[in-house]
Structure 1
Amino acid sequence: HQLAAGTADWLDPHGLWSAAPDSPVGTVLERNAPALLASLLDPNDPRGCQAAGAVGRELATWVGSLREAFDRSYRTAPSQQDPLSVAGTALFEDGPIQVPALTLATDLGLRSASLQPIGPLAKEIHGAIRKRMFPALSSDAWGNAVLAAALRSYVLLIDAHGAWAPFDEETSLYEVELEASGRRHLWGNMTRTAAGVRLDENAVAPLETDDVVLSIDGVPTAGLSVEQVEQLGILDPNDLYPSRQVLLLRRGMPAPVQVRVDPPAPSWVPDAAYASLRVSMVRYRRGRVAVMAMLDVPDDLGTELASALAEVRLEGEPEGVVLDLRGNGGGSIEGAKEALSPFLPGANLFPMRRRNGAVETEQAPVPAPTDVWSGPVAVLVDPDTASAAEMIAGAIAAYDRGVVVGARTFGKGCAQEYLDDEAGMGVLRLSTLVYALPDGRPVQKVGLQPDLLLDLGEALEREDTLPNAMVPWKGPDVRTTSLIRSVPWPPHGGEVGPCEDEVVCKALRGLGSREPLVVSRKGRQGAPRR
């Protein structure tokens, strides 16, 4: 039943083909789900292809009837509505699909006809809707689409972080990596309409809220799935031609206009070299503490961190360094290793066990002597600190190198790899290994418990609440014993702040109190609470 429901959902990005209340396809899917599952478990089992063919024949007939309803409505539209109003009106409902597909197909025909006053582009929009929402595919082609949707559903059922996506939706698999790479979307939130997509918030200038994007680099947005349009709307500063040409409708303008959108520099970054860091200095005792907020963990985080630390030290040695990993969902294992090198140069880091049982150990690089930081360190974490960010915090803790402050972390102690599927149709993401901290403590489904606890709210979700998540693994103690050492924070004598973020000041006040905050990992129960 879960496979059938997931297949119906992934197969139908518009609420027309298999998920609509009047679609007969869902019943056929439910009936053929056991055979589809058997084929996924054994690729030599022919029943899956036969089952997909049966669903494909039903789809070909059903979508054909929807296409007829769309065409009939378009031809017989009684009157034209305001095209700007139609272009900006949401096309699909939120939540469970309740509108019958035949009703939606008829409404789409009326809306498409109402766009004709915007000029020749209306015909292109109409063609995109018809081709994408009511495709004239053969039964065999529909059967292949069913198999792809079944695979997409199946991967999620066996792996909490697994996924499969076709190439035109593959960036949906890389959300964390996209943020870590400096790429971003043309908008924050959008709504699909009959004409394209309406921008609801955080539009990149010169785009504006309520603009309706008709095409991007000449590709119409009408009729695309959410994943397809999000991939189309990515701004990548690393592209050879990073700008995007966007054709849009804007209220107050009589016709579509084309604008060029360039990737913006983050507003809070004084130097573009630090795309993943925000550095602030906070008064502490007679000097200052460098607070380095890490927004994500890209491959080059170590380079950014070393450069930022060098700039800070040009103004004088700080009293200490705070790595702020709150809200950091992780990213690259390589980035985590590189970021640890100033604090644990050359240290053995994370034992990792692959699904076949093989265990390998990661090691921190050895930086130039001038890049090593031997002073006090603290790491600020919260329930959203996850994955590679937990690696950074956990290694600092395992070596007693610094104090972990905040709230218990997410507990994602597994990593994923990306593979092109053998059929050459898309990309597969699978959880392939689970890691432990350098001292062997598990992270998966456990998380990190800080030495100094702060009230940072309750987690909405943790790894141990996800179905089909990998089990915890206690690894070997691989620590480089010569690097196990604690560096206590000097007392601040009440001289802390001011801070833009009061949580940072609370952490610093706790770090420099008279209570013993750098504790043995065997005595963590006695950690004071703040």
Structure 2
Amino acid sequence: MFARRFHPRASGVVHPFQTHVGRRLASRGWYFAAATAILAVAVHRPAEPPRPAQRGIALWSLRTLDVVDEEALGAECGAPSGGGLVLPTGAPAALSCEAARTIIAQVRTNLAAPVTDVEAAKFADGVVDWLDPHGLWSVAPDAPVAPLVRREGERLLRELEAAPNGDPCAAADVVGASLATWMKTLRVSFDEGLREGRPEGRARSPAEVWRTVTAAPFEDGPITRNGRELARELGREVGAARAAYGVALDPYVTAASQRLFPDLTAEAWGRVVIAAAVRAYVPQLDAHGAWAPLDEEISIYDLDLETNPPLRLWSEMTRTALGVRIDRGALAPLLDGDVVLSVRGVPLTGMSVEQAEQSALVEGAPHGPPASVTILRPHVAEPMELVVAPAPAPAREGPAPAAEPPELPFDIVRYAEGRVAVVTIPDVPDDLGDRIGAALARVRDAHDIRGVLLDLRANGGGSTDGAMAALGHFLPGAALFPMRRRDGGVEVERAPEVPAEESYSGPLAALVDGDSASAAEMIAGALASYRRGVVIGDRTYGKGCAQEYLDDEAHAGVLRLTTLLFSLPDGAPVQKVGILPQITLSLPAATEREARLSRALEPWRGPDVRDSALVREVPWALHGGRVGPCRDETVCRALRALGTSVAAAR
């Protein structure tokens, strides 16, 4: 069993910050992304089969929870008061049987295509994985829970799919009883480790203490360590820190015991199993779908594509036995290397990664900045209390000037007797229209530009609004993408009307590859449909579906569901098909395709909605072999092909 990795971007399709974190504060929209794995600030986001559990990284929480209080369990806390994000509790997510069935029925009703049967074995594997945020509860090799979940998987699946007012979820209760017993065993091992970590008469050196405090005990790959062994090691690390720092660490010792080994009844653990089952179920129906409880909802969004991304306490971190070690991007006065014990008086110990992601936002949380933070720092003998707050905006008279959009990578390459502007578009943020506008302003300021090449390689997608706004500069006012819902209703998106002085009417091309997906395919596909630009490269990824964010009808969390299929303006399908370039280049083969996903929807051919007056070719001039040099040889290959091909210069 694998650990659930922390991704800088969420998988599937995501939404701009103003409409997803701010989804409780503003309007909504759709956001598109690709469906393959991402390990850094890259562009393919996976449609995962079901996504495995994160265990090695965490952030901070915002309030304490008495884990004995069964009524305060995770998602059962309900909707937030005041309309903001829910503050993470530190408790495992939990759902009643009726609430879970309500969510499952909503998913099955709202998917863009009729549902298919869920495989019980894959579902059970997903339950085991989502059930365990630490590598202790169900995925540890010595945990008795996983075999029981797999044995009860078929029954649990049928119980979830029953009517909301049906019989109890008895299979979940069976697994819950096993978890309650297993927690007692793990707690014994933890307590033994605590005693071992406080040896009488032996003082540890400061360097040894700091190594213990900053150690990363949680595995981020396949889980190979027995749960009893990990519990004992956690106890030793917590005990050693307590011995070194004294009574100031007592709240964190208590939090470690309560959050890592919750003292819940069998029935309460059954509700935790049900919540894990819902998280496992949704991606078994929808390759791009997900459900998250309210105090973890930020985990299904993508903040890196925002026009104004929210402020965070840090950008990279690693969980320790007692808190969070900041690895990179600490917000002052925090420093990289600090171990954060608590934020706003709440211990970080035992938080799930998903709760930590949500807690890490300084802006957007109901209580907002400033945040009181307790840390350990090298060469400091006791915990430090700090206050973290964003720098105040400078005083000014009148309205603040509009911020300039970040510049897209821009290059000028020789082409025949003139030059070509190469604009690299790594993803499709909500403000891509503004960024394209700024790039085109540079084109207008340059001399002797013979064409524009949009480099969409490895662009995994982003915002539909961003894609349409970008297309407005090349196809102002054009009818773009028919979108079909489950009920057969078709909506048509239209590009904005861009003033003539801000548009571009010259030769245009889009360079794509097998990692160009979703909103990137929309840009390239629309240019091809209207014959406005030449698409060159390799067949694209083939993601022609869209996701929406919905409050679940149980008022316990948020759903990301595939609710729409889209086609290109001429009706050509994108889903599982991709875009075949007019000019093909030999490029590195893509390792992932939408068509290879077991739960991907089938292609849909839509109506031809093109405005005939806008269908026009703008040919590229012949270059006579005079191209380059280029920083990227593939760009030169593309330009050479453009200036010699009948498809581009006729």
TM range (shorter): 0.7 to 0.9
| Number of aligned residues | 511
The answer on whether the counterparts of 1:444 and 1:471 sit within 8 Å (CA) in structure 2 is: yes
CA distance in 2, matches of 1:144, 1:158: 22
CA distance in 2, matches of 1:218, 1:318: 59
**Cα pair distance change 1:279/1:419, threshold 3 Å:** same
Q: Which amino acid aligns with 2:644?
A: R
Cα offset, 1:74, TM superposition: 1.5
1:277 is paired with a residue of what secondary structure?
coil
Q: TM-score, normalised by structure 1?
A: 0.86
Aligned partner of 1:197 among 314, 320, 324: 324
The answer on whether the counterparts of 1:191 and 1:198 sit within 8 Å (CA) in structure 2 is: yes
CA distance in 1, matches of 2:332, 2:528: 43
CA distance in 1, matches of 2:258, 2:407: 41
Structure 2 segments unaligned to the other structure (5+ residues): 1-120, 392-401
**Cα pair distance change 1:220/1:38, threshold 3 Å:** same
Residue range with higher mean Cα deviation, 66-75 or 214-223: 214-223
Residue range with higher mean Cα deviation, 18-27 or 368-377: 18-27
2:299 is paired with a residue of what secondary structure?
helix
1:485-506 CA-partner distances (Å, limit 9, x unpaired) = 1111123344433433332233
Residue range with higher mean Cα deviation, 323-332 or 293-302: 293-302
Aligned partner of 2:179 among 36, 39, 59: 59
Residue range with higher mean Cα deviation, 279-288 or 135-144: 279-288
**Match of residue 218 from structure 2:** 92
Aligned partner of 1:77 among 183, 197, 203: 197
**Cα pair distance change 1:96/1:243, threshold 3 Å:** same
**Cα pair distance change 1:121/1:431, threshold 3 Å:** farther
**Match of residue 265 from structure 2:** 138
1:241-269 CA-partner distances (Å, limit 9, x unpaired) = 68877655555665556585869xxxxxx
CA distance in 2, matches of 1:205, 1:284: 48
Q: Say whether residues 1:41 and 2:41 are aligned partners.
A: no
Q: Which amino acid aligns with 1:393?
A: A
Q: Say whether residues 1:338 and 2:469 are aligned partners.
A: yes
**Cα pair distance change 1:339/1:96, threshold 3 Å:** same
Q: Which amino acid aligns with 2:508?
A: V
Task: Give 1:111-510 correspondences, 5 Å limit.
Answer: 111-116=237-242, 117-118=244-245, 122-175=249-302, 178-183=304-309, 190-199=317-326, 211-215=338-342, 219-234=346-361, 248-249=375-376, 251=378, 273-275=404-406, 277-316=408-447, 318-510=449-641
1:151 is paired with a residue of what secondary structure?
helix
1:168 is paired with a residue of what secondary structure?
helix
Residue range with higher mean Cα deviation, 50-59 or 145-154: 50-59
* Higher-strand-fraction structure: 1
The answer on whether the counterparts of 1:246 and 1:261 sit within 8 Å (CA) in structure 2 is: no
Q: Say whether residues 1:109 and 2:229 are aligned partners.
A: no
Cα offset, 1:276, TM superposition: 6.8
The answer on whether the counterparts of 1:39 and 1:45 sit within 8 Å (CA) in structure 2 is: no
**Cα pair distance change 1:315/1:467, threshold 3 Å:** same
**Match of residue 266 from structure 1:** none
The answer on whether the counterparts of 2:332 and 2:388 sit within 8 Å (CA) in structure 1 is: no
1:282 is paired with a residue of what secondary structure?
strand
Q: Which amino acid aligns with 1:225?
A: S
**Cα pair distance change 1:315/1:473, threshold 3 Å:** same
CA distance in 1, matches of 2:501, 2:232: 69
Cα offset, 1:178, TM superposition: 3.5
1:265-316 CA-partner distances (Å, limit 9, x unpaired) = xxxxxx9623373333334344433322223222222133223323432345
Q: TM-score, normalised by structure 2?
A: 0.71
**Match of residue 515 from structure 1:** 645
The answer on whether the counterparts of 2:621 and 2:649 sit within 8 Å (CA) in structure 1 is: no
**Match of residue 17 from structure 1:** 137
The answer on whether the counterparts of 1:348 and 1:480 sit within 8 Å (CA) in structure 2 is: yes
1:20-75 CA-partner distances (Å, limit 9, x unpaired) = 22222223323332332123222336345222223222222221332233234324
The answer on whether the counterparts of 2:134 and 2:352 sit within 8 Å (CA) in structure 1 is: yes
Structure 1 segments unaligned to the other structure (5+ residues): 264-270, 521-530
CA distance in 1, matches of 2:527, 2:615: 10
**Match of residue 4 from structure 2:** none
CA distance in 1, matches of 2:358, 2:258: 19
**Cα pair distance change 1:459/1:435, threshold 3 Å:** same
Greater relative contact order (Cα < 8 A, sep 6+): 2
Residue range with higher mean Cα deviation, 61-70 or 409-418: 61-70
The answer on whether the counterparts of 2:460 and 2:519 sit within 8 Å (CA) in structure 1 is: yes
CA distance in 2, matches of 1:355, 1:493: 51
Residue range with higher mean Cα deviation, 186-195 or 500-509: 186-195
1:479 is paired with a residue of what secondary structure?
coil
Q: Which amino acid aligns with 2:181?
A: T
**Cα pair distance change 1:479/1:217, threshold 3 Å:** farther
